[in-house]
Amino acid sequence: MTAIKWVAVRLSYMRLRRPEPRHAPLSLGFLAGLAGFLATPGPWPTDPVLGIGLGTCVSVVVWAVLEQVPDAFDRAVEARAQWVLAGLGLLPAAVLFGPALFGAPTPPGGTSVRVLVFTVAAFLVAAMGEQHRGMLLLERGQVRGRVFAVQSKWRQFALGIVGATVALLVISYTIADSFSIGSLVGTVVGMLIGNGLTGTEEYELVALDDHLLVRQRGGWGATAIPWRRLGDVTVEGDTLRVARGPPYFTVYTADLTELSDRRAAVEAFRSYPYLH
């Protein structure tokens, strides 16, 4: 009875932390809820209302639990545990589709769709974790320089076409006869229209001691790129160009004319030996 009384007293002093709507914990909660929804027995889902209700409940509970330990969550993100999660998300796809590469029968369409959706969601959550990690580095690191830059819309378009083609080929492998020239042409036309309707996106480049942070202006999160992964940093007149290495191969171009301390900004981006 004494032990039970002690536990009751301890619980009475505990105060649950009100969850904050942070993107990374929310996305992880969504992934857990999606897993619960997709795990509903076939035909999928047997009861849509039950599946959606179960997924929503799991999402909220996981999100609330993660927000009770925000410091531990942030430490895990800084240690890049999100890519362990992505690997776990890839595991069901490897188990399901791997044997088909060696002549085994193709998995049923419904199962393939579930696994593909979960794998894609796991990688999206890992990407959200990387954006959260970038913001943590920005909060805790020493800012050496900061400029605003743009990147070529046509380079973005070309990278988008490559990504869309790979995605369509993967979908075609998992779902028979889902890839066609028409679907690829439709994707290209849609991207051309979107490319024409949207303006040039501006990015904030922040130089830290160990990383370059790339943030879309007005957006959330930041991509942290180790300096050793940059292709090159060059200055031509009043133009600073920062080239990313593989697999992105994009170039950010910044106008230095409006900077109050141009020399300090240039030195911040060119002071790393392995860039030369």
The full set of domain ranges for the chain reads 19-140, 145-275
**Sheet containing 230-236: which strands, arranged edge to edge?**
223-226, 211-216, 202-207, 145-151, 251-255, 239-244, 230-236
Query: Which of these ranges, 31-35, 46-50, 141-145, has the smallest mean pLDDT?
Result: 46-50
Rounded distance, CA 136 to CA 258, Å? 28
Q: Which helix (H) or strand (E) holds 254?
A: strand 251-255
How many angstroms separate the CA atoms of 86 and 121, rounded?
A: 9
Per-residue pLDDT for 75 more than 90? yes
Q: Where does the pLDDT of residue 11 fall: very low under 50, low under 70, confident under 90, or very high at 90 and above?
A: very low
For range 103-117, the mean pLDDT: 73
Tell me which of 2.30.29, 2.60.40, 3.40.50, 2.40.128 is the CATH number of domain 145-275. 2.30.29
- Asked if the model's pLDDT at residue 55 lies above 90, the reply is no
Per residue in 210-238, pLDDT tens? 889 999 887 888 999 988 888 888 888 88
Q: Which residues contact 59 (CB under 8 A, 6 or more apart)?
A: 29, 30, 32, 33, 34
Looking at residue 10, its pLDDT comes to 46
User: Per DSSP, what are the bridge partners of residue 113?
Assistant: none
Would you say residue 248 has pLDDT above 70?
yes
Indicate whether this model's pTM tops 0.95: no
Longest CA–CA span in the chain (Å) reads: 79
- Provide the mean pLDDT of the chain: 78
Give the C-alpha separation, 208 to 266, whole Å. 13
Q: Is the pLDDT of residue 56 over 70?
A: yes
